[in-house]
Amino acid sequence: MVLLRREIGDVLRDARQRQGRTLREVSSAARVSLGYLSEVERGQKEASSELLSSICGALDVPMSIVLREVTERVALSEGTDLQPLSVPDTVPVDLADGMASGGLVGAGVP
Amino acid sequence: MVLLRREIGDVLRDARQRQGRTLREVSSAARVSLGYLSEVERGQKEASSELLSSICGALDVPMSIVLREVTERVALSEGTDLQPLSVPDTVPVDLADGMASGGLVGAGVP
């Protein structure tokens, strides 16, 4: 089973280490305890939405950038091919309608 | 503040409603309580990674597809422009090195 908290933790740790910052520095900037941040990075604790936002702020990385990397990692683990959902001009009308109204339904499923 | 659980809840509810399924049907398939799923969909409760995986399974939607939609919604709320991170051939070597090793650092920040 792909666990979201593990992927989030890996991405947050990568971002911090790329910046050459310590757990202490980032936890202080995010106003979370060092132990909490460490557990989040190791995928041992679910980050609440508020604290995830705070950690992204402390890293000066938009949450959507973190989530995009998380999404790509999850897709790789799942073996999901993330193709753009845009509807080509040549798609028949009934199929295009289905795609436009139900982008999530069956998307990425062979 | 953009809250991840609200965006996840909205995307899960949209997916369920597009499939014309009830809270009862999906909660039963995901083996979570109806009340829990309802709270997750309304962004009132954080879904644990295990239960998020279970709900995605019940909806027959890969988690990465849900996360991609969540990412796009978060980017819109943040005003983050999610450009591809690929490194063009013409980028100077030192800049390309920085991008390759630090894709998250400052990405999306003007």
CA dihedral over A92, A97, A100, A106, signed as positive or negative: negative
pLDDT score at B102: 46
Instruction: Classify A29 in phi/psi space as left (phi over 0), alpha (psi -120 to 50) or beta.
Output: alpha
User: Using one digit for the tens of pLDDT, what is the confidence trace for A46-55?
Assistant: 999 999 999 9
Same domain, B22 and B64: yes
Residues contacting residue B69 through CB under 8 Å, at least 6 positions apart: A103, A104, B11, B14
Residue B15's domain comprises: 4-79
Under 8 Å between Cβ of B7 and A67: no
User: Using one digit for the tens of pLDDT, what is the confidence trace for A94-104?
Assistant: 555 544 444 45
Given an 8 Å threshold on Cβ–Cβ distance, is A2 in contact with B63? Answer: yes
What CATH number did the domain enclosing A31 receive?
1.10.260.40
With 90 as the cut, is the pLDDT of residue B82 above it? Answer: no
Q: Which amino acid is at B87?
A: V
Distance, first Cα to last Cα, chain B: 19
To the nearest whole Å, the CA of B52 is away from the closest chain A CA by: 8
Rounded Cα distance, A28 and A23, in Å: 8
Over residues A15-22, the mean pLDDT reads: 98
Name the interface residues of A facing B (CB cutoff 8 Å). 1-6, 11, 14-15, 18-19, 46, 48-50, 52-53, 59-72, 74-75, 78, 80, 82, 101-109
Q: Is A106 a member of any domain?
A: no
Instruction: Please tell me the total count of domains within chain A.
Output: 1
Same domain, B28 and B72: yes
pLDDT score at A82: 84
Q: Is A110 a member of any domain?
A: no
Which of residues A97 and B81 earns the better pLDDT score?
Answer: B81
Q: What share of chain A is helix, strand, coil (3-state, %, to 5)?
A: 60, 0, 40
